[in-house]
């Protein structure tokens, strides 16, 4: 466990952290803080319908939110506060501010450079790397980083950490062995993904809004009961973030590294995953769909993650020695009773189900690009569909038996997120002028309408 924690800290602290903030700051400057200037437009984006047919990008956004809003928002955030101190929450929010413009860029470019084959739209980092660097610029080096990116994403087939995070919460709430909910989630993911991308979209459109409102509502009740502790908790978060006070063994450096890596794993900004779902949208204006990408980060981090972070800090639960989903459930149970933790555990299960289904769409998108031959592609996808849910059960078993618990789990998760994030962020920096041109074109169009 110590090895992976040190390795992850080194990779994120030395390479990914500077690159993430450099990319976010550069895009924010180049677009004149687009995520701030168009904040209201972003909030309206889920309700926008394009053309007479009333086409909407909401389902694609729900699929993407279903992939990002998952157990990481509960287990991952709680672990981040427990290991990095309350200051980790501040850096998660800081990362999300830049993550909003980064996700806007990813999604905008994914829609701009998507391809339509076999009656479907396909897009994402490997597609825009090929079409921008390979076709527009005539640079052949795009293949190597695209392969590395794809391998990094496909590592999730074997490092399926959502299963343990969900199973831990359900097992803690119902006082049952962790392997029982692990197997149940595995079976549920098989059922959802059996129908392909369209069934994932339908399931996510139903599950995602419900689970977000339900979970945030429960946390809101707890915070209301602890309203007098909110301002002192915010002060503690700021002090811990900048090293004025070491809390729970945390310090500014630990809070920064843990906060950033957990923010990227949670809202997936810069990771390159969500653009693959957004590329399937019916919206034709790239930057319009890009606003939904920013909305996704806003919901994921500024609402769901912030709710979890304030929950464990305001109630003082982060001092309990617990981590993961058990920490969040401990805080809820202490304020609302055992029944509330049971209902939240069910919500966590739905989080994991939507996330597991969404990741299958990412694997399908990458496989479609990497394997033009249909027979080869179908074989790869069948293997992925067979292995990924089951690998979650194996990971759950190994982590449970190792005694490393949530800390080992999230060290592995952060490690798997590093490589694709590094490749994708680098590509976005090179493509900044193209993104800015698309944003300028979009703003000219909406200014004429208004």
- The pair of structure tokens assigned to 283 is 């919206």
What does the alpha-carbon distance between residue 287 and residue 104 come to, in Å, rounded to a whole number? Answer: 7
Which pLDDT score is estimated for 34? 94
What does the alpha-carbon distance between residue 308 and residue 89 come to, in Å, rounded to a whole number? Answer: 9
Q: Residue 342: is its pLDDT beyond 90?
A: no
- The pair of structure tokens assigned to 343 is 């209902």
Q: Kindly state the helix (H) or strand (E) to which residue 117 belongs, with its residue range.
A: strand 115-117
Q: Residue 254: is its pLDDT beyond 80?
A: no
Beta-bridge partners for 55: 50
Which pLDDT score is estimated for 446? 83
Coil, helix or strand for 52? Answer: coil
CB–CB of 108/287 below 8 Å?
A: yes
Going from the C-alpha of 10 to that of each of 3, 263, 327, 421, the distances in angstroms are 11, 17, 26, 15
* Tens digit of each residue's pLDDT (9 = 90 or more) over 17-73: 889 989 999 999 999 999 999 999 888 877 776 655 545 556 656 655 655 566 667
Which pLDDT score is estimated for 91? 85
Please, what is the average pLDDT of the chain?
Answer: 81
Give the model's confidence band at 305: pLDDT under 50 very low, under 70 low, under 90 confident, else very high.
confident
Which pLDDT score is estimated for 60? 59
Which pLDDT score is estimated for 244? 47
**What proportion of the chain, given as a percentage, has pLDDT over 90?**
20
Beta-bridge partners for 303: none
CB–CB of 421/22 below 8 Å?
A: no
- The pair of structure tokens assigned to 201 is 């979209």
Which pLDDT score is estimated for 113? 94
What does the alpha-carbon distance between residue 20 and residue 444 come to, in Å, rounded to a whole number? Answer: 29
CB–CB of 13/416 below 8 Å?
A: no
The arithmetic mean of pLDDT across residues 165-187, rounded, is 87
Q: Residue 450: is its pLDDT beyond 60?
A: no
Q: Residue 348: is its pLDDT beyond 80?
A: no
Which pLDDT score is estimated for 430? 94
CB–CB of 383/231 below 8 Å?
A: no
What DSSP string describes 202-226?
Answer: HHHHHHHHHHHHHHHHHHHHHHHHT
Which pLDDT score is estimated for 316? 86
Return the minimum-mean-pLDDT range out of 75-79, 118-122, 281-285. 75-79
Nearest CA-CA partner of 262 in 74, 4, 63: 74
Coil, helix or strand for 226? Answer: coil
Identify the structural domains of the chain with CATH numbers, from first to last: 2-449 (1.20.1740)
Give the model's confidence band at 111: pLDDT under 50 very low, under 70 low, under 90 confident, else very high.
very high
Nearest CA-CA partner of 199 in 413, 313, 76, 358: 358
CB–CB of 95/264 below 8 Å?
A: yes
End-to-end, the C-alpha distance of the chain in Å comes to 56
- The pair of structure tokens assigned to 223 is 């915070």
The arithmetic mean of pLDDT across residues 319-340, rounded, is 78
Q: Which residue has the higher pLDDT, 251 or 279?
A: 279
What does the alpha-carbon distance between residue 65 and residue 235 come to, in Å, rounded to a whole number? Answer: 30
φ, ψ for residue 83 (rounded to 5)? -95, -35
Q: Which residue has the higher pLDDT, 416 or 232?
A: 232
Which pLDDT score is estimated for 246? 42
Return the minimum-mean-pLDDT range out of 7-11, 147-151, 421-425. 7-11
Give the model's confidence band at 435: pLDDT under 50 very low, under 70 low, under 90 confident, else very high.
very high
What does the alpha-carbon distance between residue 308 and residue 250 come to, in Å, rounded to a whole number? Answer: 18
Output DSSP code: residue 155. G
The arithmetic mean of pLDDT across residues 232-253, rounded, is 66
């Amino acid at each position: 466990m110590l090895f992976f924690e040190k390795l992850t800290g080194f990779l994120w602290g030395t390479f990914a952290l500077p690159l993430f903030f450099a990319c976010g700051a550069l895009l924010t400057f180049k677009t004149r803080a687009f995520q701030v200037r168009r904040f209201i437009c972003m909030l309206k984006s889920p309700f926008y319908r394009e053309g007479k047919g009333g086409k909407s990008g909401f389902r694609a956004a729900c699929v993407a939110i279903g992939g990002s809003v998952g157990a990481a928002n509960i287990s991952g955030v709680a672990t981040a506060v427990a290991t990095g101190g309350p200051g980790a929450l501040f850096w998660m929010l800081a990362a999300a501010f830049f993550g909003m413009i980064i996700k806007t860029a990813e999604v905008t470019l994914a829609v701009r450079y998507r391809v339509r084959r076999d009656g479907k739209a396909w897009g994402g980092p490997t597609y825009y790397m090929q079409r921008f660097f390979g076709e527009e610029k005539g640079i052949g080096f795009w293949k190597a980083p695209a392969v590395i990116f794809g391998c990094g994403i496909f590592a999730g087939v074997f490092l399926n950490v959502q299963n343990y995070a969900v199973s831990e919460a359900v097992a803690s709430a119902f006082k049952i062995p962790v392997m029982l909910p692990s197997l149940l989630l595995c079976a549920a993911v098989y059922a959802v993904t059996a129908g392909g991308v369209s069934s994932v979209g339908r399931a996510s459109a139903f599950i995602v809004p419900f689970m977000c409102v339900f979970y945030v509502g429960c946390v809101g009740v707890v915070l209301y009961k602890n309203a007098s502790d909110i301002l002192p908790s915010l002060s503690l978060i700021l002090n811990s973030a900048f090293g004025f006070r070491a809390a729970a063994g945390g310090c500014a450096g630990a809070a920064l590294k843990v906060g950033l890596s957990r923010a990227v794993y949670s809202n997936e900004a810069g990771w390159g995953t969500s653009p693959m779902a957004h590329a399937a949208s019916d919206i034709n204006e790239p930057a319009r769909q890009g606003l939904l990408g920013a909305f996704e980060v806003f919901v994921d981090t500024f609402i769901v993650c912030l709710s979890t972070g304030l929950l464990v800090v305001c109630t003082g639960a982060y001092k309990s020695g617990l981590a993961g989903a058990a920490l969040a459930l401990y805080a809820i149970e202490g304020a609302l009773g055992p029944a509330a933790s049971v209902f939240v555990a069910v919500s966590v299960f739905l989080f994991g189900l939507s996330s597991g289904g969404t990741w299958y769409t990412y694997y399908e998108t990458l496989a479609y690009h990497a394997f033009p031959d249909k027979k080869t592609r179908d074989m790869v996808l069948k293997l992925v569909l067979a292995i990924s849910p089951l690998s979650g059960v194996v990971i759950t078993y190994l982590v449970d038996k190792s005694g490393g618990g949530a800390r080992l789990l999230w060290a592995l998760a952060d490690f798997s997120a590093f490589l694709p994030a590094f490749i994708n962020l680098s590509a976005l920096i090179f493509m900044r002028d193209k993104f800015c041109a698309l944003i300028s074109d979009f703003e000219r169009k909406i200014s004429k309408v208004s």
